[in-house]
Amino acid sequence: MKVLVTGGMGYIGSHTCLALLDAGFQPVIFDNLSNASKAVLTQINKISGVTPAFVEGDIRNTALVRQTLEHYGCEAVIHFAALKAVGESTVEPLNYYDNNVSGTLSLLQAMDSAGVRRIVFSSSATVYGEPDYIPIDEHHPLRATNPYGWSKVMVEQVLADLCQADSRWQATALRYFNPVGAHESGELGENPLGTPNNLMPYVAQVAVGKRSLLSVFGNDYPTADGTGVRDYIHVMDLASGHVMALKARLEGYFACNLGTGQGYSVTQLIETFRQVSGKAIPCEFVERRPGDVPCSYANSELAQQVLGWQAHKDLTAMVTDVWHWQLNYPMGI
Ligand code: NAD
Ligand code: UD1
């Protein structure tokens, strides 16, 4: 079965393409390369022996998306394409709503006219805003604290309304917690352009000597060691969640968390990185980052019940694979 993968050249999309190939699906990548390098195709080929079809284009180009769906005979879409920098979204909200919300509307219109009405959507734990309780389950109210988060809430609503209005549609929204890690081959991983916004790629760049010092944002949170706690999830576990969502053949709209259910603090992550890499990781405690929550982790029982999915890889595996990738490609690809 052919699957259109929007944003398939990006971090999570490229790893999901490998999982799709492994499971016998044929990914067709559609990406405008706004946050990815074409070299990703070479890396996918190195690992799998297959170079997926690739169309360079923007999801806001409805005609091109439709043409691509029809040309390749795609039967479903996995939709990763989005802008994702929280801070930037507060400065450029129009850009975020245009790319993430209008972009998705354009994609859905193209799908509708091509008669392709199955979609798996990249949502995020950000749709829970500041959590009322943890572990967070899917009954938790939806809200956001920034335009990026709202764009995810809005798209989820659009998908739910679409499935409600037309029973030919099936949409699954997967709410990722904190994706980290790399492919175990060390040939594919996160390739951030510029200064990383997120903890794991920052720690990796300090360990490899590309950056001198890690700032730990706050050590006075009400957590065991005072630093923020998150549910880090290996990107290949996340990738398998998408394959299982495609295989599940659900009806209507379905949304679920993808997390491990286990929280780790910033200090625990750094310590694991020190042990795995054998490197010193110089760090300093600084002020809390505005908008950060003390603690967030998932209840992932619904994904287990409905998709038969669960995460298998622990923090050591996540760090080991990131380190392998970082050592192989210290300057990225
Ligand atoms: P990424 O930036 O690595 O990948 C996104 C890809 O989409 C890039 O290759 C980019 O070039 C492409 N793209 C962006 N806008 C496009 C457009 N208009 N048309 C075509 N292509 C476009 O990001 P990622 O980390 O792989 O995230 C993938 C998805 O998962 C996003 O929707 C993101 O919001 C969501 N998500 C990510 C995280 C995370 O921490 N990485 C967490 C929760 C949810
Ligand atoms: C980020 C996004 C969130 C997204 C989530 C999933 C922001 C503000 N939020 O969340 O929308 O859903 O990723 O991937 O980007 N930290 C440091 N030093 C650093 C970087 C981070 O101490 O240099 C700390 C943070 O304070 C936090 C933890 O590390 O406690 C994880 O941070 P990060 O990797 O940015 O993820 P989130 O903030 O959870």
Contact 149, 84 (CB under 8 A): no
Six token digits for residue 154? 């809005």
What is the distance between the alpha carbons of residues 110 and 30, in angstroms, rounded to a whole number? 13
| Whether the predicted pLDDT of 36 surpasses 90 | yes
Using DSSP bridges, classify how beta strands 170-176 and 252-258 pair: parallel, antiparallel or unpaired.
Answer: parallel
Ligand 2 atom nearest the C-alpha of 179 is: 14
Q: How far is the CA of 199 from the centre of ligand 2 (A)?
A: 6
Q: Please tell me what DSSP assigns to residue 125.
A: G
Number of C-beta neighbours around residue 20 at 10 A = 25
CA gap 117, 258 in Å, rounded: 23
Q: Which of 96, 148, 176, 297 is catalytic?
A: 148
**Alpha helix (H) residue ranges in 9-143:** 11-22, 39-48, 62-72, 86-91, 93-96, 103-114
- Given the CA of residue 202, which atom of ligand 2 is nearest to it? 23
Q: Categorize the per-residue pLDDT at 5 as very low, low, confident or very high, splitting at 50, 70 and 90.
A: very high
Q: What does the pLDDT read at residue 291? A: 84
Lookup: tokens for 18: 């490998």
Nearest CA to ligand 2 atom 13: 178
Residue pLDDT, tens place only, 56-70:
999 999 999 999 999
pLDDT tens string 241-279: 999 999 998 999 999 999 999 999 999 999 999 999 999
11 lines ligand 1 (CB under 6 A): yes
**11 part of the active site:** no
Average pLDDT of span 114-133 = 97
pTM of the model: 0.98
Tell me how far apart the alpha carbons of residues 329 and 289 are, in angstroms, rounded to a whole number.
29
pLDDT at 52 over 90: yes
Ordered by where they begin, the domains of the chain are 2-180+232-259+297-312 (3.40.50.720)
Q: H or E segment at 236?
A: helix 235-247
Average pLDDT over the chain reads: 97
Percent of residues, the chain, with pLDDT higher than 90? 96
